[in-house]
Amino acid sequence: MDSLLSELDFSMPELGDVVTGIVVAKEPGYILASVGGVAVGIIAGRELQDGFDTAKGLDIGDEVSAFVLDDENEEGMMVLSLRKASQMKNWDFFEKCLDTGETITVVAKEANKGGLICDANGVHAFLPVSQLSPQNYPRVDGANAQAIIDRLNDYIGQKFTVSVITFLRNDKIIVSEREAMSDLRTSEIKKLKVGDVVDGEVNGVVKFGVFITFGNLEGLIHTSELSWEHVKNHYEIYKIGDKVQAQIIGIDGDKISLSIKRLQKDPWTDLIKKYTPGTITKGTVNKVTNFGLFVTIDGNLNGLVHTSEFEDPELRADEVARVRDEVTVKVLGVNEEDHNLKLSMKLKEEKKDKKEEKEEAKEEAKAE
């Protein structure tokens, strides 16, 4: 036999080798392959299954590469595996992708609070939450684990284009959708400028605002930029999937700040004409602090009555009024930049001043 093998220039494979054979028989549960013309190998059961669905495309006479599991079984045949050969081929491919940056396609199979466990041609690959693209990142308040898993479960069965960012042969692959799209995002950001109007979709509603995605990008609309009016509960107004239009008000690297209210007419412009300094009007207390009362006038104007402007400055704010109380105030000044009024509750002093002014006027008239 050794002499025959020498003449054929063929050495018997060892466990762990990948050999090339010729398919000589194909049945529903197994494939037989001639290896070097001197041995017959069998590929059966789960060892027929690989990420490339190789077995399905094989016919008698085709070449096939397989991994040697055992040099001989009870029937004298070499035990081979398409599955293991495919895995080894995959590891080589993934290592190449790590070096070159070439992207691959994976399919989400399971979800946990850390991310998605995906299938990459029969190999498990992990896609962490932090490495999802802006469109797929689960924006939830307080890093609620169950809410994150609920969002991730929606991705089961979905395909993702990713880059390999960590590779340990025969151990694990960590992939990134964000990295795979980084060049595309950078290109899209370069085309943007402050003042542009974008059409997007709500991707997350959190305590400090609303995230929307547009194109391959994501932007934040801070609560202060949702409306000119005071928004009490933006969770009730905006839902994931809502279509919105917003204006770009800031670009800092890949962080994009947006505004909805800048696309609306500012009611301040017209309202403030009615409330020049010295105007006395009524308003409603919307907040009580240790330094004063915040008062809303005409539904849209807000101002502060500092404790020093109370009729009795010795009183605490919560002793002067409560939230929703109606109060009478005097406009002292207008802060156009912050859209706020400076208010006072010293109305009696105003009346006294006017009386004194009249008395002074009479005295001046007599003197003349």
Q: Give me the residue spans of the domains in the chain.
A: 2-87, 101-180, 188-263, 274-350
Asked if the model's pLDDT at residue 1 lies above 50, the reply is no
pLDDT reported for residue 336: 74
At residue 329, the 3 state secondary structure works out as strand
Convert the pLDDT of each residue in 124-169 to its tens digit.
899 999 999 988 988 877 667 888 898 899 999 999 999 999 877 6
| Chain mean pLDDT for the chain | 86
3-state helix/strand/coil string of 111-153:
EECCEEEEEECCEEEEEEHHHCCCCCCCCCHHHCHHHHHHHHH
Convert the pLDDT of each residue in 51-110 to its tens digit.
667 888 899 999 998 999 998 898 889 999 988 888 788 788 888 888 888 999 999 999
Report whether 160 contacts 177 (CB < 8 A). yes
Pairwise CA distance, residues 245 & 368, whole Å:
68
274-350 shares the fold of 101-180: yes
**CATH entry, 2-87, from 3.40.50.2300, 3.55.30.10, 2.40.50.140, 3.40.47.10:** 2.40.50.140
Report whether 200 contacts 208 (CB < 8 A). no
Query: Hey, how many other C-beta atoms are within 10 angstroms of the C-beta on 357?
Result: 10
Tokens matching residue 268: 């301040």
State which amino acid sits at residue 41: G
Q: How far is CA 344 from CA 123, 126, 319, 324, 329, in A?
A: 71, 61, 16, 18, 5
3-state helix, strand, coil split of the chain in percent (to 5) is 30, 40, 30
Pairwise CA distance, residues 198 & 280, whole Å:
42
Pairwise CA distance, residues 109 & 224, whole Å:
39
CATH number attached to the domain at 101-180: 2.40.50.140
* Prediction pTM value: 0.61
Helices (H) and strands (E) in the chain, counts: 9, 20
CATH number attached to the domain at 188-263: 2.40.50.140
Considering only CA atoms, which of 82, 83, 70 is closest in space to residue 12? 70
CATH classification of 274-350 is 3.30.70.790, yes or no? no
Q: Which residue has the tokens 């207390």?
A: 285
